[in-house]
Structure formats: C-alpha cells, structure tokens
Structure 1
C-alpha cells in the first residue's frame, strides 16, 4: 500500500511539487521551471527529481493530484481544433447573439470575441423539445442522417457540441444524435449539453458545452500522455485532476469534461489557503496568490471557500460550479511599459517562464515586477536559492522605464511595484467591497512565489492590519492538492414557487442523490484512505421575476438531507439576499430554480510534521533595501528555516526561504505561531 501523496501545480513560470507521507506527516517540497510547450515535461522531470530528493519509490505513491492550466491557456490563446455545433433549427446564431453585453461598456469600438465555432460549422436540425420536456417536433432518423452527411465534408472538424433547446428537461434527442455521430465518426469528440451543463438559460448552456467541445481534443491528448507517463513512474497511484469547483476528479472525467478544469490551479490555492489558515485558527481570510503571470484573490469566510456558478474566462461564459476567484494580470513576470498616454503601465503582458524576467538571465530583456524588486534590493542574488539573479540585467531593463520618465532607477522601480500592488488591491475590492464585505475585517493571506514581497503594500492600500504567511507560500497550490477530496456535482433545473407543493423538489433531490450514491460507491472502499462520504444539498432560490438566483445550502450528511420547512428555507434565502444585495423583501414570492447535490469523498489527511527550530532568531546577512520614505536602509535578512515558534521580528526585515521571500516593512512586525505560520501585523500608532 502506497504511503505518499503528491500534489503538482503547473503555473505560468514554475511547476510546484508537494509530497506528504501519510504515516508520518513528513513533507517534501520541490520547484522547477515550467515547460509551456508541454506541461507534462516539467511534471515528469520534476517528479523524478522529487523522488530522488525524498527517496520515494514509485510503488510508494498512493495518490497523484494535479492542478492544470492546459484548459485555461487553450482558452486564453484560442488554441484548439476546429469545432462544430449541432443545434435546433433557428438557433444557429445564439452563440453570437449571447447576452448582448459589451466587453467594455464605454468603448464602442471593442467587439466581443468571435465565437469558438465558425458559422459555417454550425448545423441545424429539425426537432423541438418543449418547456415541459415534451416533444413538440419529433427527431427523425432522416434528420440525423442529413446531419451526418452534412458533417462529412468538414474533415477539419475534430470536435462537436450538440446543444438543443430544452434538452436539460428531456435529453433524448441529444443522446440519439450523439450516439449516431459517434458511430459514424469514431474519432470525433462529441459533447452534449444535457451532460455538460443540464440547466436552463440556453446561451450559458450552449457556451459552456461549446467550450467543453473546443477543449476536449487538446486536454484529452494531454491527459492521455500524462496518465501513461505517470503510470510508468507510479504504477499504483490514483491520478486525480483538480477541478474548478474545488475538488478532485478522475482523469477520465477530466478528459470528458475539460471545461471543469478551467480554473484548476487557482482553485487549489484557495483550498490550500483555507487549510493552512485553519491551522492558525483563522477562518476569515482574503487570499493573495501572486505568481509569475497573474494574481488570484478569493474570499474565505468561516473556513469555507466561496463558490460561484457563473464565470467569464477570456470573454467566454462558463456556467458551472467554480471557486469564486478574481484574477488580474499582475505577477512577478508582468511587463512594465509606457502607454500611449505616456503613463506607466504594468501588465497584463508577462515575460512568463520563457524567457522570463531580465534578472533571470535567460534571454528576457523587458522590465518586469521581479526586476523592479531586484533594483529595490528585495531580491538580492545571494538569496535566490537555486534561481540565480543578475542585478545588472535588472537595472538595464528598468532603465527603459526610468530614462523616458526622467526618474531614478529606484523611483521607477518603486512606481512599478506600486502600480502592481494597486492592480492587486483592485482585484480584492472586487471580491469584498463590491460584494458588501469590508476587507479590514479579514486577514490577508499571501502566497505564490511573489506573495510575500507585495502583501504589505496591498494591505496598506486596503487598510488591512494583519497578514498570514503560510509555511510554504510558493508551494501552497500544490499543498492544496494534497488536502483536496474527490468531488462530483449534480444539478437539475426544477422551477417551483416556494409556497407551492414541493413534491417535485423532493423527487429531484431523491433522483440526484441516487446518482451521487452510485458515484460514491464506484470510488472504491479503501478504509485506510477514506474518512467519509457525504452529500450536500443546495437549492438555488430567487424572488419570482428576479433574473439571477442565490445558492442556499440546506444540509450535509452521509445521505441527502430532507427538505426543511418552508419558513426556515425562506429565512435562509433572506439572509443570503441581505448579504449579497444589502436588502430583502419578506413579503415577495420566492421560487426554487435549481436543485444541486455535491458529492464528496473525504480522504484521510496527515498533519504536516513541520520542522521546529529552536533558539533566538539571528540574521544571516544585512542587505540594503530601498523604502519610499527613507531610501536605502540596512535591513537584516533572516532564514525562515531558523525561526522558532514564538520568534518575533520588527521591520524592516527580509525573510527568505527556498520558494519565496517575505518583506517586512518598517511599520510592521512579524511572528511565528504554533502552526509555524508567520503572522505579520501593523504596528499601532
């Protein structure tokens, strides 16, 4: 029986590894540059390096969890095959009509991105399911044969989406079409909306299914390569892919429903952040995950990660359960430049992993946020721990900004990091202030390779007073994969006023619960690793006539919980509405729109056996670090591995570890708590 669990998170710049031994809690971390041309190359090379480093035999790996950016990158770059669409006659242009929302409300010249399916590849079929699931126009075999014949000349179409009106109520027509297409074209990838997203709102359902079809060939090939390679290295390992909803799924499901992985990596970070903060007894946090290309932020309340059922990624709408994350193009590799107005801009373009920031000495020559940190002394060469830093190249790159602005190198670098911090703070406002939450009541949790360098700057902008720096900030997404559980989500649209007979809602819960139970039973019964199997029932409610609904969780247990009385359900909805919109109407009618069940198989987790050094904190070196008020200041540098529980350091200070660097400005003090997390607090006065 394997004793190791390994999590691998692929980022734009680095691929991170975290391995934990279940029997002892021993944790081993590793990091290596990503390989954007083929992410699996960095995974396999890094896995071999990790095995050598920790002396882990392949047969000792019980579980391999992977957070992937393949789907995200494919959408951002529109890198995918020719995709086709079969839809009900008359709905061919629905993808382009969309919701008629302009990408930039004040810019009349900006167009929405073109749909992923060209018009000539959108095929119409005569059939019609009605609003009660009845067949208004029956689907004939002749119509199916005509579609097969029409598709024949389209030899460049590798994937096909089948999206029919009201198929979420009656999928029979979609299933017949899919079966015929798969039989006629065995190599064709076919996605049907009643499987990908069986909810009402036709545009969101069509868009999500088309995105799934667009991603399926590329992600499927990647999953096949990865699975084959991992099985050779770790033949007994169960391979799990992290999904946007916050749990793991099988590699088969990831290949079938790649759209579920669109936010795979960032979602793992939020899960890992909630677990790390819980070890310090902190339940309300705002995550600040700063990587090489982007920054991801999320709101976590009472230890629970917020979720959303609607996301726009690269201008494409996806309606599926996802961890509620807001992303901006601001990271260590973000490129600084002067805009057409002559003002300094930072991002969203990034130097990425190849060639990377100029200071990495790998061919990059553009000024980046990382180069600015080098100029300010925040990233001295001796602290790079395996990633050599060339300060001369960084200074040369920043000169591109300082010279035309007639500023010193330090002022230009300070401007770059300040703008980056402002962009990050704006992202936090989107998940807090814009949703009725005051960020000052939360702890800012920084992670990612650059999180510790910018956390205090972001906290200053938002008037936040406390920052949590986890044990391994640069590897937290990979650590989140280790503590993640298997998860599957089920949904059905079932509109019913709350004051009516709720029998159809109870029947829907029972039907979904049966599907969830079958899935849970199919996951095996390894008592050594499985703690529990649970079903969480969620109802989407809204005021009658309202356009969007709010999820109300009604219970979690081994089996689906029964419906509560109507009045407590109303009150729960009123509380949700008050929190989301600042008001509620106790007299207005309420209706149920969707019934959801989240099935979870919880794995056994071993607490990290973190190293616990002893003795008084002693600086390893002193570096000259630039601060806005004082200029360069001699600043003590500490090795985090030497900080014991209870250690307390007043700023200015720099704390280094192999995966990140944490800056403690003069107005802050940092200490190490019992969980070996660092807590940074603003000095009073």
Structure 2
C-alpha cells in the first residue's frame, strides 16, 4: 500500500494522479492519493490522512472480501452499507479507512439521538399515566428513570415500569384519558440536550446531541491528525476491563486493559484486577444473572472468590503504604474497590465536561443517555458528579451501536478549499461552487437509487478570522425554499450560526472549507 502527497495537489491533482498510476504499474495493490482522500490546504494533516487511509483501507478491504465470501454469490446485486465516522452510511465499495476510525461509536450516537432525544415527550407521559395503556405501543416505551428516582439519585434506580403499580385512584387524579395524552404529546416542553455515555470493556465514548449532530473535520489521535468529517466523540481509556493499579499512594485506573482474554480476575482465567471486579466486589454485579461462560472451559459462573483474593492483595499494599506514612487508618477491600470506582468515574466525567462546560453549556441541563455493556453500573454516580438530574438507561443498551445502523442516513459529502473573503462581492462565486458540490452529492445519491424527494442537502462553511488559524464551522441562514435569490441567502448569513463566538456580527474572513452533505432518510424503518 502506498500514500501519495504532493504539496499543491489540493488545487492541481493531475501530477498526483499520474504518480498513482505509476505506482499501480509498479505493483502497488492500493494507492491513497491525498487529493482524493482530503483535498484541503494543509499539507501535513493531508499527508497524515493519506497515510492513515493507506494503512487501514487494505485491512478493511480484506475483511470485506471475507465478509462477502460467506454469502451466496458473494452478495452480488445486494445493497450493503457500512457506518462511517460521520454517522452516515456508505456503500461497501466506497467504504475507506480514513472514514471508518469512529464508525462503531458513531452508530451509538445515531441510536440514542433517534430515541432518547426525540422521544422525550413520550417519556414525559410515563410520569403521570399508566406505562401500558392500549394507545401507547410497546416499542415506544424507552426505559428511563422516573421522577421519583430523579429527585434523589442516592435512591435505588427505578425504571418507569414501576408506575404500573400505581393505584387507579392515583391515575385518575392525574389523567387517564386519551385526549389528555394526545394533547400532552402535541404540546411537549422544550427538549433537553442529551449526553451520550457509551461505556464498554476498554473505553468510554461520550458525545452530545441537541437536535443536530456535532461534527469535527479535523481530529488528532495518538499524534496523528486526520482531516475527515466525523462526529464529535470524546474517548477515554476507562471501561469495564480497565486494569486497577496502586502506585506511590495513588489509585490508578487504566489505560491498560485486561481485554476479553484473559479478562478481569472474575473471568477465572488468571486475569488482572479490573473495574468489573470492583463492581462485582461492591455487589453491583450479580453472578446468578450472568451466563456460565467463564473459566478455562467456558462453562463456569463469575468467580467472586478470585475477585476477593485479588482485592485482598491490593488492599494489603494500600494499608502497608498508609502504615509506612504513619497513618493509622486501615481500609477494607470494599473501601479500596469504591476508591477505584470513584477514580474511574472522575476519569469519565472529564470528557463530558469538555463537551459541555468547555463550550459554554450547562452540564446540569442535560440528560445522560447510558448504553454500552458497563454504562448502567456507573450512570447514577456520573450524573451525580455532574449535577445531572435525569438518566435514561436504554433498553437496547448492549446493542445500541448496532441498532443505530438501522436508523442512520446514507450520506455523500463533497468539499473543496477556498481562499476568498466571505463578503457580498463573493456571494455569486460561493453560490456557484456550493451548487457544484450539491450537484455532485445529489448525483451520487440518485445513482444509488434514492428518489429526489428523500434527499436533503446541508451546507457547512469553515470560516476563520483574518490572522488566525482556527476555523469555525457555520451553517448560513437560508431563506424559505424558492424565495429570493442566492445572494439573499448568503446575505442572511451575515449573522452565522457560530455559538462559540461572543460577537453578535463577527467580521468573517477567509473561507477555509466548504462542505456539502446529501442525506437520505432511511425508509426501511419508520419512526412515528
């Protein structure tokens, strides 16, 4: 595999394409051209993106080939789509490595955005009507915390199903008529933004949704800067398999992971102490509710004794350290386990604050949507630390990222650089280029078989102030469809949607990037 980068290929691609042709003639089976992967100005991030794509795409293609070979006729004539990092679907033949880095967590974001956020009005009904009336279909009942649990996070988590035990008198004193229910649905209160909390085995992914997906177009992971649209997802190395250490008087959680094999100590395969063991030690995991798939023969239950033995050893180290410092305090195994849990919780709170407080949002005015295999074990403690009063535990918590695939849109994107000042003299030029990008995306979607009526286009402009290197992603205010001309539409964007700017009418300067998204609402699953 080969990555090709020429300094000015973002504006003149002919030479880079010729280099790619020569590389193919020399025997390279895969060539990633920077002008094709990321046709943007910055050469270094563009080169990193091409290298990332050249590294990942052959691996993905090998997997896809094996995937196809497992079906009759290798899926010939069958439409197969894969999730991308931006939360949209791409055809199998268009799926590339640079767009797949966060494809797994992206499915979870789409899943909770389409359920937790948009079904808030329906969930509100559970606070004052029977959770199982005939006019509310079972598929609309998302698991959530009732108000009684929200007002006191220290109490046991109570799902909305507890309202089934409400007496008939209580129900009649609130409401039980279909007309009142319909009125409540039609007149919901303002939807609260949602924080997605996806805690798995090796890491935790957090994101924010307030009616629209939040994207970034340049991200740095492990020192590698990639220019590719992706959902704004913060990842921290803290999950159920994160290992527990005691170093120099400090409780340390991760970033090392016990993995699936050997796994935590309770898996009975000689694994190290992990967050899962701490939850088991505190009684938050009940072995009788787990299948007997552990141990060397994979037919045994969770090993509580192994967890207790491992915590006894690390507790001795903690108490020995305290004794060496002259402290008479002696901790129990449960107190040590709780200490590790608190460290893990604070580690997971930091990226949530980065998505909210660091961007001017009040964390307490959000809903915490919890999913992932380990999310429910830490949800209330996380919410309490952040001042959040409402937690949604999704009924598909363990498979929400997969569930989100069925709710995702098919997305085509086109972008190009531009070094012009964003002002009225250049509106005609911007309109012409954006129409070109829109036509490119729309044509691809039409060729995939989507009708024109189901295609929605979104415009994103990356603007920066003169003399700065930080681009702000904006969406212009557009007039009613069919009203006015394109210059009117651009003129109305003199006050762009830049929430992070404190100035009411910022003076816009150099346009760094124009992005066009063509989206098709999936019709295979109908959301009421």
**Within the alignment, does 1:603 sit opposite 2:522 as a pair?**
yes
Counterpart-to-counterpart distance in 2, 1:236 and 1:325: 34
How far apart are 1:188 and its partner, in Å? 2.7
C-alpha RMSD of the superposition = 2.4
Match of 2:266 in 1: 359
Match of 2:511 in 1: 592
Match of 2:405 in 1: 481
Pick closer, same or farther for the CA change 1:450–1:230 going to 2, 3 Å: farther
Aligned to 2:455, which of 533, 555, 566?
Answer: 533
Match of 1:417 in 2: 341
Match of 2:7 in 1: 165
Match of 1:156 in 2: none
Aligned to 1:258, which of 88, 97, 119?
Answer: 97
Report the 3-state secondary structure (helix = DSSP H, G, I; strand = E; otherwise coil) of the residue aligned with 1:389: coil
Pick closer, same or farther for the CA change 1:345–1:203 going to 2, 3 Å: same
Match of 1:65 in 2: none
How far apart are 1:477 and its partner, in Å? 0.7
In the alignment, is the contact (CA less than 8 A) between 1:336 and 1:368 conserved in 2? Answer: yes
Pick closer, same or farther for the CA change 1:161–1:563 going to 2, 3 Å: farther
Report the 3-state secondary structure (helix = DSSP H, G, I; strand = E; otherwise coil) of the residue aligned with 1:305: coil
What do the CA deviations read for 1:94-139 (whole angstroms, capped 9, x no partner)? xxxxxxxxxxxxxxxxxxxxxxxxxxxxxxxxxxxxxxxxxxxxxx
How far apart are 1:504 and its partner, in Å? 2.5
How far apart are 1:280 and its partner, in Å? 2.7
Task: Identify unmatched segments of 5+ residues in structure 1.
Answer: 1-158, 609-674, 676-685
Q: Kindly report which structure 2 residues correspond to 1:33-48, keeping only aligned pairs within 5 A, or say none.
A: none
Pick closer, same or farther for the CA change 1:247–1:231 going to 2, 3 Å: farther
Q: Which has the higher strand share?
A: 1
Match of 1:312 in 2: 220
How far apart are 1:599 and its partner, in Å? 1.5
Match of 2:471 in 1: 549
Q: Which has the higher helix share?
A: 2
Q: Kindly report which structure 2 residues correspond to 1:656-671, keeping only aligned pairs within 5 A, or say none.
A: none
Pick closer, same or farther for the CA change 1:233–1:386 going to 2, 3 Å: farther
What do the CA deviations read for 1:150-208 (whole angstroms, capped 9, x no partner)? xxxxxxxxx111111121111111111112221232x4310101100001111111111
In the alignment, is the contact (CA less than 8 A) between 1:168 and 1:198 conserved in 2? Answer: yes
In the alignment, is the contact (CA less than 8 A) between 1:358 and 1:368 conserved in 2? Answer: yes
Aligned to 2:357, which of 433, 447, 451?
Answer: 433
Pick closer, same or farther for the CA change 1:491–1:364 going to 2, 3 Å: farther
Counterpart-to-counterpart distance in 1, 2:401 and 2:488: 37
**Within the alignment, does 1:221 sit opposite 2:129 as a pair?**
no
Counterpart-to-counterpart distance in 2, 1:460 and 1:606: 36
Counterpart-to-counterpart distance in 1, 2:82 and 2:490: 38
Aligned to 2:302, which of 354, 372, 389?
Answer: 389
Match of 1:511 in 2: 436
Counterpart-to-counterpart distance in 1, 2:383 and 2:99: 32
Q: Kindly report which structure 2 residues correspond to 1:540-579, keeping only aligned pairs within 5 A, or say none.
A: 540-554=462-476, 562=486, 564-572=488-496, 575-576=497-498, 579=499
Report the 3-state secondary structure (helix = DSSP H, G, I; strand = E; otherwise coil) of the residue aligned with 1:455: helix
Pick closer, same or farther for the CA change 1:384–1:238 going to 2, 3 Å: same
Report the 3-state secondary structure (helix = DSSP H, G, I; strand = E; otherwise coil) of the residue aligned with 1:374: helix
Q: Output the TM-score relative to the length of structure 2.
A: 0.78
Q: Kindly report which structure 2 residues correspond to 1:640-679, keeping only aligned pairs within 5 A, or say none.
A: none
Pick closer, same or farther for the CA change 1:384–1:473 going to 2, 3 Å: same
Match of 2:256 in 1: 349
How far apart are 1:383 and its partner, in Å? 1.6
Match of 1:271 in 2: 110
Match of 2:133 in 1: none
Report the 3-state secondary structure (helix = DSSP H, G, I; strand = E; otherwise coil) of the residue aligned with 1:590: coil
Pick closer, same or farther for the CA change 1:287–1:334 going to 2, 3 Å: same
In the alignment, is the contact (CA less than 8 A) between 1:531 and 1:602 conserved in 2? Answer: no
What do the CA deviations read for 1:260-317 (whole angstroms, capped 9, x no partner)? 1001111111111101111234451011100000000001112x22111111122211
**Within the alignment, does 1:369 sit opposite 2:369 as a pair?**
no
What do the CA deviations read for 1:201-256 (whole angstroms, capped 9, x no partner)? 111111111111122222221121122224569777532111101111112112xx
In the alignment, is the contact (CA less than 8 A) between 1:535 and 1:558 conserved in 2? Answer: no
In the alignment, is the contact (CA less than 8 A) between 1:532 and 1:601 conserved in 2? Answer: yes
Aligned residues: 436
How far apart are 1:602 and its partner, in Å? 2.0
Match of 1:34 in 2: none
Aligned to 1:295, which of 197, 204, 209?
Answer: 204
Match of 1:205 in 2: 46
Pick closer, same or farther for the CA change 1:248–1:489 going to 2, 3 Å: same
Counterpart-to-counterpart distance in 2, 1:236 and 1:314: 39
In the alignment, is the contact (CA less than 8 A) between 2:246 and 2:318 conserved in 1? Answer: no
In the alignment, is the contact (CA less than 8 A) between 1:375 and 1:395 conserved in 2? Answer: yes
Counterpart-to-counterpart distance in 2, 1:193 and 1:322: 18
Pick closer, same or farther for the CA change 1:364–1:289 going to 2, 3 Å: farther
Report the 3-state secondary structure (helix = DSSP H, G, I; strand = E; otherwise coil) of the residue aligned with 1:167: coil
Pick closer, same or farther for the CA change 1:566–1:216 going to 2, 3 Å: closer
Match of 1:33 in 2: none
In the alignment, is the contact (CA less than 8 A) between 2:292 and 2:302 conserved in 1? Answer: no
What do the CA deviations read for 1:554-574 (whole angstroms, capped 9, x no partner)? 379999x946544421211xx
In the alignment, is the contact (CA less than 8 A) between 1:167 and 1:193 conserved in 2? Answer: yes
